[in-house]
Amino acid sequence: MLSIKNISFSYQETKVLSGVSLSLEKGNHLSVMGESGSGKSTLLKAIYGLLHLDSGEIFWENQKILGPNFNLVPGEKYMKYVAQDFDLMPFTSVAENIAEHLSAFEMDTHADRIEELLKVIEMVDFANVKVKNLSGGQKQRVALARALAQEPEILLLDEPFSSIDQFKKNQLRHNLFPYLKEKGITVLNATHDPEDVLSFADSILVLKNGEMLAYNTIAQLYQKPKEKYVASLFGQVNELPISLLKEYSEVDASILVYPHELEISKDSGFEVYVVNNHFKGSHYLVEAVAENGQSVLFKNLHALKIHARAYLNVSLQLVNKRLLPK
């Protein structure tokens, strides 16, 4: 188990992480989410032992992770950290870059292992290509394979698909995360892409200005986000004054509603006027404005006429779930 106990860290005077605590069972996957600058990379570096913490402790099983003041070579052996700037050997081949990280005691299995890892990153045909001739996304995939070469117990991924195009990204996610599960590798994945999270993470830690804003399962955070920042990590979301709904016209509070949860009706609900339609493939995201000037996004199968009037409804059940604390 990975246990992080109330850690804080600052660069010079600036606090970057404060009071972060979590525990992650062996083999579980945690996504670390938050806007850029929220402290995701710093948290991964702290776990890897690259930082001297202001306070708090980190343990893997019963072993304390010591910072750079105690470790001559930074980083722990049973852990791999795939940084945002992957440093590969440019003048050697993809296969050699991976082989360099395989154990010298298992030479006879190297070819099989390299093949297995190349399959995960879908680069079997690139085995003999020099790294300097690869695209940024391909380099990122090689960096992933290299980190997996020694089957680490913990894998720290810092935005692992940031340089990879949308086509490859989906395929890679479907190869990589089940592979890691099967191998029982504990994973912390820093990302701001909800697609990385929704089907693959067991839990999510949300950081904002270096503080833990939420730490829960995806279902909990998606269904009952405590603030818009959390809901926004899953995509677009409306924060609506509840007084828009007739039954609550006197109530001063707001609710979070995802665009697909607003029900459109011919004649009942609150009134909005269509401003714009955004094509999303399977549907349109319609941008509208309510009488009080509130802008509202909702989903519709077809585009609606600009300036057309529509009525929207929010179910009672949703009102109960999504009321934001004042």
Taking alpha carbons only, the member of 32, 30, 9, 320 closest to residue 154 is: 30
> In the window 6-45, what residues touch ligand ADP (CB under 6 A)?
11, 16, 34, 36-42
16 binds, among ligand ADP, Mg ion, none (CB under 5 to 8 A by kind): ligand ADP
Shortest distance, position 170 Cβ to ligand ADP, whole Å: 23
Shortest distance, position 159 Cβ to Mg ion, whole Å: 6
Phi-psi sector, 299: left (phi>0), alpha (psi -120 to 50), beta: beta
Q: With respect to Mg ion, which residue has the nearer C-beta, 39 or 225?
A: 39
- Between the alpha carbon of residue 207 and those of residues 22, 39, 211, 258, the distances in Å are 12, 7, 5, 21
- Cβ–Cβ < 8 Å for 113, 120: no
Shortest distance, position 42 Cβ to Mg ion, whole Å: 8
Number of residues that bind Mg ion (CB under 5 A): 2
Residue 41 in the binding site for Mg ion (CB under 5 A): yes
Position closest to Mg ion via CB:
41
160 binds, among Mg ion, ligand ADP, none (CB under 5 to 8 A by kind): none
- Cβ–Cβ < 8 Å for 198, 215: no
152 binds, among ligand ADP, Mg ion, none (CB under 5 to 8 A by kind): none
Shortest distance, position 164 Cβ to ligand ADP, whole Å: 18
42 binds, among ligand ADP, Mg ion, none (CB under 5 to 8 A by kind): ligand ADP
- Please give the Cα distance from 89 to 98 (Å, whole number): 10
DSSP labels, 5-38: EEEEEEETTEEEEEEEEEEE-TT-EEEEE-STTS
Q: With respect to ligand ADP, which residue has the nearer C-beta, 41 or 138?
A: 41
> In the window 223-252, what residues touch ligand ADP (CB under 6 A)?
none
Taking alpha carbons only, the member of 43, 49, 48 closest to residue 68 is: 49
Shortest distance, position 300 Cβ to Mg ion, whole Å: 36
Interface residues with ligand ADP (CB under 6 A) are 11, 16, 34, 36-42
Interface residues with Mg ion (CB under 5 A) are 40-41
